[in-house]
Amino acid sequence: MKNLFVLIVLFSFVFGYGQKSKLSAEHYHKVREVFRQKMPDNSVAVLFSAPIRNRANDVDYIYHQDPNFFYLTGWHQPHSVLMIYKNPQTDSQGVYYEKIYVPERDIYMEMWNGKRYDLEQVKLLGFERAAERGDFKNDTQSLDRFDRVLMFEFKNDIRSQKTYVFRDNVRYKVDDPNDLFDLKAAFREAINFPNDFNRLAHSAYQRIMEADEDSLEEAREAVASIVAGDSLLIYDEIIKDFLNKADQDFYREVKRKTAFALRNYNFDIETLSLIMADLREVKTKNEVDLLKKAVAISVVGQIEVMKAMHPEMGEREIQGIHEFVYRKYGAADEGYPSIVGAGENGCVLHYIENDKEEIQNQLVLMDLGAEFYGYTADVTRTIPANGVFSPEQKALYQIVYDSQEASINAALVGNSFRSIYKLSYDVVAQGLLQLGIISEPSEAKKYYPHGLSHHIGLDVHDPGNYLKLEADMVITIEPGIYIPENSPCDPKWWSIGIRIEDDILITQDGPVNLSAGAPRDWEGIEAMMQQESALKDFILPEIKTLIQ
Ligand code: GLY
Ligand code: MN
Ligand code: MN
């Protein structure tokens, strides 16, 4: 029993700190200022740090800060809250527009996890006001003075944390009264957040309140599209009346009822996402620099794997080479679970088992991205395990390549996401028609089932409005063709999955392919696979020879 206790104490892993920021206090202060400009009058935005998530038993997942919180703060620790105010607030020291709440020092836990950053460090990050997290509970008491409290909807993914207290030099494990769970609970109570909250109904009510007599039709369309997400809402009396009766006098009555239904609430779960999408879709120069580095590291991973690959390798070993390269350059993490799929596995879009032991002569789809100081690349190459594309692999590969070329060349300021997707789809459809794999362009959707592009940044799928391309956006361009076994075409095409994915910086002078360093045409890939690998002499003993 005694031994068991020692074991538990030694292996209690709470990975409490995320990765620090590389960017300056000035950077973050400026970002918060731009954020504030976009806030509605007399509003406050409340953002929480990410929760600590449990992996199993007494081991937690490595902490990763919430990207929106990190974007505005650069603060990498849990149990923290940020408030930004549209209008000036005053206290005994004068006027301020922002306040961050962070955990206090905890010498005992620091023995396990390293120095916890506290008020002194957070002040270095340039916040106008910083307080210990317990103060947040007091400050929630006056949230009703704002017209709107901007927030993200609560996610049901946190648990109450334990902490330690000492009495007479004895250590006791107790609930932590100020962990994120409790801070959120206090906040929920302060804003009267209903237990049976219906997000779509709330959005519909807000949309009704925002409409005026000139924009009634537009508002009706918006509410109808909200209702499409939950058709039971059609039975809600207010929504039903709003959608069905066009009379303006009647609208005033509906609005009065809506105002009454919302009378107890000043929270707003829509606007914060919209502001963050507006901000995050266009990168600052500092962010572009970090993204360039993340992409360059990922490119080296692809190149080293091209050189090292041979048919006896397994998917996991390939994954390991990429990730080893990332660590070698100081990237702490991958931006998403690595995808390494050979043959049929390459046809599974987000395949992450990566456990096929021998890749033989198949095509290997490798979709991996290094995360460098929070910013993630997203690069895919698809290469033949034996170094040479078969005629079928090459024919399909060339279509995906041509499709990607068409979209990259069209990735110009002012063009829409929709238009570059259409270009890429049309090339794939034409190619599949010519090979006799489909007989109608619309059938290409079956083999090219995903979108073409997304923003990258602190999230691999970064938020944005996804309308027109603007300078300083960084997006992926990633067409693909996937023909799983038993598809309705000649079996010679089966089990071929191909995606080519590059990270493109949009500029006034045209697209810049940040991942161009990793060959992506079939000739370039075959030539790179001929080159000698630095891992050629990295030969480990066979494990079975080491097991007694
Ligand atoms: N790696 C996920 C994606 O390409 O979107
Ligand atoms: Mn992607
Ligand atoms: Mn990807």
Three-state secondary structure of 252-267: HHHHHHHHHHCCCCCE
**Separation between Cα atoms, residue 99 and residue 103, nearest integer Å:** 14
CA angle 416, 417, 421 (to 5 degrees): 115
Please indicate whether residue 336, judged by its CB atom, sits closer than 6 Å to ligand 1. yes
Question: How confident is the model at residue 11, as a pLDDT?
Answer: 40
Question: How far apart are the CA of 367 and the centre of ligand 1, in A?
Answer: 7
Please indicate whether residue 333, judged by its CB atom, sits closer than 6 Å to ligand 1. no
Q: Which atom of ligand 1 is nearest to the CA of 367?
A: 1
Q: Which amino acid residue places its CA nearest to atom 3 of ligand 1?
A: 378
Q: Which ligand is nearest to the CA of 456?
A: 2
Question: How far apart are the CA of 50 and the centre of ligand 3, in A?
Answer: 24
CATH: 1.10.10.10, 3.40.190.10, 3.40.630.30, 3.90.230.10. Which one for 281-528?
Answer: 3.90.230.10
Cα distance from N-terminal residue to C-terminal residue, the chain: 29
Q: Which atom of ligand 1 is nearest to the CA of 454?
A: 5
Q: How many CB atoms lie within 10 A of CB 419?
A: 15
176 token code pair:
């932590």
User: Ligand 1 pocket check: which of 302, 322, 476 to mutate, most ligand atoms within 8 Å of Cβ?
Assistant: 476
Please indicate whether residue 378, judged by its CB atom, sits closer than 6 Å to ligand 1. yes
Question: How confident is the model at residue 131, as a pLDDT?
Answer: 94
Q: Which atom of ligand 1 is nearest to the CA of 380?
A: 4
Longest dimension (CA), the chain: 87
Question: How confident is the model at residue 222, as a pLDDT?
Answer: 93
Question: How far apart are the CA of 457 and the centre of ligand 3, in A?
Answer: 13
**Separation between Cα atoms, residue 6 and residue 130, nearest integer Å:** 38
Question: How confident is the model at residue 2, as a pLDDT?
Answer: 41
The length of the chain, given as a count of residues: 548
User: Ligand 1 pocket check: which of 336, 482, 499, 503 to mutate, most ligand atoms within 8 Å of Cβ?
Assistant: 336
* The residue type at 46: V
What are the structural domain ranges in the chain?
2-190, 199-264, 281-528
Question: How confident is the model at residue 278, as a pLDDT?
Answer: 98
| Fold of the CATH domain 2-190 | Creatine Amidinohydrolase; Chain A, domain 1 (3.40.350)
Please indicate whether residue 462, judged by its CB atom, sits closer than 6 Å to ligand 1. no
**Separation between Cα atoms, residue 46 and residue 33, nearest integer Å:** 15
Question: How confident is the model at residue 157, as a pLDDT?
Answer: 60
Average pLDDT by consecutive 10-residue portion of the chain (548 residues)? Answer: 40 61 93 98 97 88 94 93 98 96 86 79 86 95 95 79 83 86 94 91 90 87 91 90 82 89 91 97 97 98 98 97 98 97 96 95 97 98 98 98 98 98 98 98 98 98 98 98 98 98 98 98 98 94 92
Please indicate whether residue 265, judged by its CB atom, sits closer than 6 Å to ligand 1. no
User: Ligand 1 pocket check: which of 322, 459, 460 to mutate, most ligand atoms within 8 Å of Cβ?
Assistant: 460
**Separation between Cα atoms, residue 519 and residue 381, nearest integer Å:** 8
**Backbone φ/ψ region at 376: left (φ over 0), alpha (ψ -120 to 50), beta:** beta
Question: How confident is the model at residue 352, as a pLDDT?
Answer: 96
Question: How confident is the model at residue 165, as a pLDDT?
Answer: 84
Q: Which amino acid residue places its CA nearest to atom 4 of ligand 1?
A: 378
The three-state secondary structure class of 107 is: helix
Question: How confident is the model at residue 193, as a pLDDT?
Answer: 93
Name which of 496, 489, 282 is nearest 396 in CA terms. Answer: 496
